[in-house]
């Protein structure tokens, strides 16, 4: 499970102590929105429901409670630019 990250993306991953497994779940199930030349990948209600089903219900989701409001900024080449926590809604077009 080797994720391609930029140098800044790796620093933010370590700084925010996000799980690589959870980043994979966001990339696989998250909603993508194009913004400023990159994709923002985050979990909306439908994505959380898909993940809940995959990890075995509410009990499995408790492991990820800490990161449920996180999002990834992904470059066009697929590398993770940064990881952050949402403090407000993501605007969709």
pTM: 0.70
pLDDT at 5: 75
CB distance 71 to 84 below 8 Å: yes
Residues 6+ apart with CB under 8 A from 92: 33
Are 15 and 85 within 8 A, CB to CB?
no
Tens of pLDDT, residue by residue over 39-88, are 999 988 888 888 888 877 777 777 777 778 888 899 998 888 888 877 77
Give φ, ψ of 69 to 5 degrees. Answer: -100, 20
Does the pLDDT at position 1 exceed 50? no
């Amino acid at each position: 499970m080797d994720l391609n990250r930029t140098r800044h993306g790796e620093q933010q991953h370590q700084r925010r102590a996000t799980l690589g497994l959870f980043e994979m779940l966001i990339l696989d199930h998250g909603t993508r929105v194009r913004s400023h030349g990159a994709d923002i990948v985050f979990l909306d209600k439908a994505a959380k429901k898909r993940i809940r089903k995959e990890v075995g219900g509410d009990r499995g989701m408790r492991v990820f409670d800490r990161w449920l409001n996180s999002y990834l900024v992904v470059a066009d080449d697929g590398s993770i630019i940064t990881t952050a926590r949402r403090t407000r809604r993501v605007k969709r077009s």
